[in-house]
A and B are shown apart, each in its own frame.
Chain A
Amino acid sequence: MTTLLEVIDIRAGYGEADILNGLTLTLSDNEIAVIIGPNGAGKSTLMKAIFGLVSVHGGDIRFAGQVISGRRADQIAKLGLSYVPQERNVFASMTVHENLEMGAYLLRAGLRDHLSRVYDLFPQLQERRNQIAGTLSGGERQMLAMGRALMLDPRLLLLDEPTAALAPRYVAETFERIREIRSQGIGVLMVEQNARQALAVADRGIVLVMGQNRFEDSGPKLLANREIAEMYLGG
């Protein structure tokens, strides 16, 4: 296990106001980490801060040993970091196939191999490859969003609430896919509302409160912790 992502004492937010106040976390490759916490704790802001989509006012973010804070999003993507935002996470006016092509935008060659791997993971996408993404169902759209993010063979995948808008039958399937993704050697950092199910697949859980990490432990241990269960997992 080597350290993949280091977030050190980061302060970030929209405009001048900080939503993250000195958050620190590290992530190893081949690990699923789940961030839980109340609304407004800064879970989504953390993901955006890693990709430079919000203003970072202090601290350092390193990926595979390189400082990435202050870099452009496309340069960060080049290093092997992928991100699936919670909303507006597909190109709604483009076809499924074109969405996946955009995922491989930085790829010079070998599009076919990468495509077939994503289609193996999400067979439904292949059936709908010429459909406009905006007309997909919520579950299919989430698969496409993850498929797009996986096209470049990232070393780390950031997932912002991958199951938030899904019907219950898709939730379990999504977590199953996430486990599969990890088994291919890709690290996963995810924010989840379905905390119990997410922690069940997680190697590590992080509780984020008021822009700082409050607790950190293995997924099962956090689930077993009564205090946390009462406060953050709905009893």
Chain B
Amino acid sequence: MSFARISPSLFAPAWLVTALLVLASLSLVFFVAPMEVQMGIVQKIFYFHVPSAFAMYVGWGATAVGALAYLASRNPKADALAVAGAEIGMLFCAIVLVTGPLWARKAWGVYWTWDPRLTTTLAAGMIYLAYLSLRSFGEAGESEKLFGAGLAVLGVPVLFLVHYSVQKWRGVHPTVITKQGGGLAPEMVTPFLLSIAAVLSLALLLLWTRYRLERQRQAIDAARARALEADLLENEA
């Protein structure tokens, strides 16, 4: 693996800090945070489920920013950000959609129910999965990039629906974190905040890594195209 080539001076310290945050949060979650009265040990899924949802928003938020910027400027950096954000958002969406049902089996007695938040999260996941599928069909041309950017922008309202669905529609999904202060026991707050820091740090690090890789790929594609134009290379296709 050659991640270190991406940015040798910052890469290792960033990973070290993230690894320490993850280890610290795991130890707080399992050795400091108290057991929840109703659900017992399965409530500890919450400490990484909710931060993963935040990381999902970060990833797809980056996609929205990148897609809008690409539509406005055709800047390849914006396209790289959109692709990187879509993958990171999809990763954490998958984590949310797997860990949530495992918690729900204990809390609700079923793995899945068509609750507004669950349904809108699944819908958002399908939109960005479509975006990634479109971008993975070989080397994306300009039309694929533009269509993909439009699709990514269309996903933005769904993200707001995911976030506000709990307040706007009746459902069974809990909203423990609210503006009124939340329903967490005081001993659960520190482990939860540290888990948020750990997961967001991991998400940003993955986003940065994927963005740099995409920029390198773009540079190679551009170099190959220039070499072909100058008849320095034979067209393999």
**Do A and B belong to a common assembly?**
no
Q: List residues of B whose CB falls within 8 A of some A CB.
A: none
Q: List residues of A whose CB falls within 8 A of some B CB.
A: none
